[in-house]
Amino acid sequence: MSAPFQPASIYANHADPSVRVMIAPTKYIQGPGVLNSVGSLVQQLGFRKAGLLASRRGHTAEAATAKAAIEAAGVAAAPTVFGGESSLPEIEARVADLREQQVDVLLAIGGGKPVDAGKCIAERLGVPVIIVPTLASNDAPCSALSVIYTEDGVMAGAEFFPTNPIAVIVDTEVIARAPERYLVAGIGDAMATYYEAKVCAKNADARNVLGTRPTLTATMIGQLCADTLYEHGEAACASVRDGKVSEALEHIVEANTLLSGIGFESGGLAGAHGYAQGYTVLPEVEENYLHGEMVGMGVLAQLMMEGNPDEARRAGEFFARVGLPIHLGQMGLSASQTEKIDAVVQGAMSFTPFSNLPFEVDADKVKQGMLSASEMGEAITAEQGEEAFLRIR
């Protein structure tokens, strides 16, 4: 394989740090039943044989719908079964399978892991990728990067790609049928978009994921994302409980998938995703909590570290209403577990975008942010209860 793609080596002009870059998927298609139109899309884009990456379960559900639609449009389909982990051995196995079948486009269908793996597989095959998320739980579908894990599921790094997916197709009927906890996790992940992009916009030394300054557009996408979540989040959760698509659900799916995806990549990351990475070093957290739940905890801690307790409280009260964890106890941890807390702090500080914060970050500040956010979360739980948190688990 050639040298890994490094976006900063192309986009960032280090002699002139004012360069600003924004990237995005070519097409974003969202609505009830849109999966049925994937056949005409693939056919009109001129593809002849589409690889279909999905889990064994996926091949009996959404991937089966996609396969029928593709074949009805006169395009051949080549299914391959995803083993469950976005790891290098799994990626190589699927590449070998699909290379033999000579596909000219790949559809990655499923949750965060097949989406991440699908981008890597398409890159190695030299074909474009179409992402079909079946959950609105994370910010992965729209970006030009993938997270790679070991075979045991520990985060091992990231790969960057020259292009974003050529299409992201989100069928909201599929999202409405998924468990509520996934949509809620996506809300936690998406909320970070605003607070992290805001830090990057204000700090002239901060850089987005591409190694450049953010555009005004990407920063405003973060703002729109948070406004949408605060306004429609609870109603969207109610729709998923009823298994029904609604206008509120459409808005939240867009926030969780499109706004969150473009927003984190081109608007920039900061503390919230650093704390999330920190939590993944504890196996009991990594196994039992979703990315967006850890990011939500990180949002509160970042805001406390920034000295913005009023905004932290606003976010914390909203998180409690939708059922995100807001204190260490809800993550199965406690402030007295010094070794574990210190491990999270060290994991968080190893996250490069932490340095986008406009002040010197040291272990003490990171720990204080986390513990004071947790105390605030306990106070909110005492006032509001934890009905939503318990209901969706």
Nearer to Zn ion, 69 or 272 (CB): 272
> Does 265 sit near Zn ion (CB under 5 A)?
no
As measured in angstroms, the least distance from the Cβ of 77 to Zn ion is 31
Site size toward Zn ion, by CB under 5 A: 2
Q: Which is nearer to Zn ion, 139 or 159 (CB)?
A: 139
Beta carbon nearer to Zn ion, 295 or 304: 295
Select from 7-15, 47-55, 61-69, 131-139 the region that touches Zn ion (CB under 5 A): 131-139
Half-sphere exposure of 127 (CA within 13 A, CB side): 27
Q: Rg of the chain's alpha carbons, rounded to an integer?
A: 20
Tell me: does residue 139 bind Zn ion (CB under 5 A). Answer: yes
Q: How far is the CB of 204 from Zn ion (least distance, A)?
A: 24
Choices 132-140, 153-161, 239-247, 335-343 (CB under 5 A): range interacting with Zn ion: 132-140
Is the separation of the CB atoms in 263 and 222 below 8 Å?
A: yes
Residues between 228 and 247 that touch Zn ion (CB under 5 A): none
Closer Cβ to Zn ion, 291 or 367, answer by number = 291
C-beta of 66 vs 276, nearer to Zn ion: 276
Site string for Zn ion, 342-381 (x = CB under 5 A): ----------------------------------------
Please state the closest distance from residue 149 (CB atom) to Zn ion, in A: 15
SS3 of the chain: the string is CCCCCCHHHHHCCCCCCCCECCCCCCCEEEECCHHHHHHHHHHHCCCCEEEEEECCCHHHCHHHHHHHHHHHCCCEEEEEECCCCCCHHHHHHHHHHHHHHCCCEEEEEECHHHHHHHHHHHHHHCCCEEEEECCCCCCCCCCCEEEEECCCCCEEEEEECCCCCCEEEEEHHHHHHCCHHHHHHHHHHHHHHHHHHHHHHHCCCCCCCCCCECCHHHHHHHHHHHHHHHHHHHHHHHHHHHCCCCHHHHHHHHHHHHHHHHHHHHHCCCHHHHHHHHHCCCHHHHHHCCHHHHHHHHHHHHHHHCCCHHHHHHHHHHHHHHCCCCCHHHHCCCCCCHHHHHHHHHHHHCCHHHHHCCCCCCHHHHHHHHHHHHHHHHHHHHHHCCHHHHHCC
Identify which of residues 95 and 190 has a Cβ nearer to Zn ion in the complex.
190
Closest CA to 141 of 110, 172, 175, 171: 110
Scanning 74-82, 136-144, 154-162, 297-305 for contacts with Zn ion by CB under 5 A, the matching segment is 136-144
Q: Which of positions 186-205 make contact with Zn ion (CB under 5 A)?
A: 189
Q: Which of the stretches 38-46, 60-68, 133-141, 228-236 binds Zn ion when contact is defined by CB under 5 A? A: 133-141
Q: Are 292 and 189 in contact (CB under 8 A)?
A: yes
Cβ closest to Zn ion, residue 211 vs residue 353 = 353
Indicate the residue among 51 and 296 with the shorter CB distance to Zn ion.
296
Q: Which is nearer to Zn ion, 139 or 180 (CB)?
A: 139
Closest distance to Zn ion from the beta carbon of 276 (Å): 7
Minimum distance of Zn ion from residue 125's CB (angstroms): 26
Where does this chain touch Zn ion (CB under 5 A) — which range of 38-46, 184-192, 214-222, 298-306? Answer: 184-192
Q: Min. distance of Cβ 254 from Zn ion in angstroms?
A: 16
Return the closest-CA partner of residue 352 out of 273, 296, 293.
273
Residue 229 C-beta: closest distance to Zn ion, Å: 14
Instruction: Work out how close the CB of 295 gets to Zn ion at its nearest, in angstroms, rounded to a whole number.
Output: 5
Shortest approach of Zn ion to residue 185 CB, angstroms? 10
Residue 1 CB, shortest distance to Zn ion, in Å, is 26
Contact 294, 232 (CB under 8 A): no
Closer residue to Zn ion in complex, CB, 65/134? 134
Q: Which residues bind Zn ion (CB under 5 A)?
A: 139, 189
